[in-house]
Structure 1
Amino acid sequence: MNAAVRLTLYGAGLIVAFVVAFGLAGVVVPDSFVDDWVSRSSTPHGDEPAAPSEDTPHGGDPAAPSDEMPHEDQPATPSDDETHPAGH
């Protein structure tokens, strides 16, 4: 088979695959999800910080480091007594 014919068939196959994927996504993805996605992405990053919540104390960024310090009764690192029990 000629290389030009192969490339044409490959390109046509890609077009068909993307059209089918687009149509399937339009049927499967709920409209409420699309509306939420569009409303979140229409605001550029950094213009409007998200309100902190219990789960994300740094303005909605779960990847941000935590400011929380360990409680007095919970050491930050295990003590020698915890890592080397008596008698061992």
Structure 2
Amino acid sequence: MPNLEEAIRERAYHLWIADGQPEGQADIHWLNAQREILTTSVESSGSNAAAAAPADPGLVATKSAKMAKVARSGKSKTRAA
């Protein structure tokens, strides 16, 4: 992101507006905006790296075999409430 501080400032302003323009909470809006911007930046760079990196065929085969084994055993990580 070319101008990180400007992006954070703009997002903090929008958060402040959405929060009803309260006084004395600039630091809260700034930190929330900073967290949002940085999280979005990290997630997008992570997905770009994953898309650009070639898959390791051995790793893919191993993961697929493990997933098939779990499926055959009937076990699942999700549980009904």
Class of the TM-score when normalised by the shorter of the 2 chains:
0.3 to 0.5
**Looking at both structures, which has the greater relative contact order when contacts are Cα pairs under 8 Å and sequence separation is at least 6?**
2
Larger proportion of helix: 2
TM-score (norm 2): 0.40
Answer with 1 or 2: which has the greater Rg: 1
